[in-house]
Every structure is written in C-alpha cells, then in structure tokens.
Amino acid sequence: MTSSEQVTDSPSGWVAEHIQRYVATGGAEGHEWRPGVYTLLLTTRGRRSGKLRRTALIYGRSGDDHLVVASEGGAPKHPSWFLNLLADPQVEVQVAAETFTARARPATPEEKPRMWSTMTAIWPAYDDYQARTDREIPVVVLERV
C-alpha cells in the first residue's frame, strides 16, 4: 500500500461519515465511538478490484495486537473487508492519530475463545450476531509489522 493510492471508504451513510470525521481529526472524533467502545480504521486491498478499501471497526487488544470481528451484524456471508484480507493480509490500520502497517489473520481455534470473550466484553451484541448466522464469525488479529 502506498500513500499516493486513492482509498475508497465504506458505502455512504453513517459509517462513511464516521470515517471522514476520524481521518479529518486524526481520530479525535470517532476513535471513541460510544463510551468505552473504540474504533480503528482498517484499509484492505480489494481482492478483485485491487483498490484500497477502508472501513471503521470496533477493536480490542490482545497484548500488542489489535482485534476486530468480521461479524457483518450476523449476516450469512463474511464482510468484504474480511475476504479482502484473506486474499492479501497486508493491511493499514489507523488507531486514533497513529497509522501503521499490519498483517491480518484469523485467530486460531486455540486463540479464538479468549479473543471472542475480549471482544464480547466490549460489544456484547457479537454473541447475538453469532446466534443469527450459521457461519462461524471470525476474530481477526492485526499484527503490527
């Protein structure tokens, strides 16, 4: 990913507005989305288009790593950003004003229960989302490179 490439934000609506405020303010607006619930910006490369795609996601921590959940609100299919990082795990992450490159990977079966608990403590609705779908909702580990 290069800084000169154009980045496309999530579809229009409140998520796109959230991202625009986050970027414009260096995370001063948008990092804390709701009291005690923090978001990061994840940029992946489109698996078909090759274009950079950015979305805002609730995150947690596991040691030095950041965690996000590919819930899509319990939809039957994985979100596009998750499919994109499976195709190309090099991603860019913005947490507040800090931006860094990371390698994204799904949590292993051994890691996932602990990481799922971390994330449901932040956003309990993830359990509801999992109950809505037959697919296993992944926890994604973002490892700084």
Task: Give tens-digit pLDDT for 130-141.
Answer: 999 999 999 999
Among 10, 25, 102, CA closest to 56:
10
- Contact between residue 57 and residue 93 where contact means Cβ atoms under 8 Å apart: no
Q: Which residue has the tokens 């609506």?
A: 13
When computed from its CA atoms, the radius of gyration of the chain, rounded to whole angstroms, is 14
The pLDDT assigned to 13 comes to: 82
pLDDT digits over 54-94, tens only?
999 999 999 999 999 999 999 999 999 999 999 999 999 99
pTM score over 0.75 = yes
For the segment(s) 7-144, the CATH number from 3.40.50.300, 2.30.110.10, 3.90.1150.10, 3.10.20.90 is 2.30.110.10
Name the residue ranges covered by the structural domains of the chain: 7-144
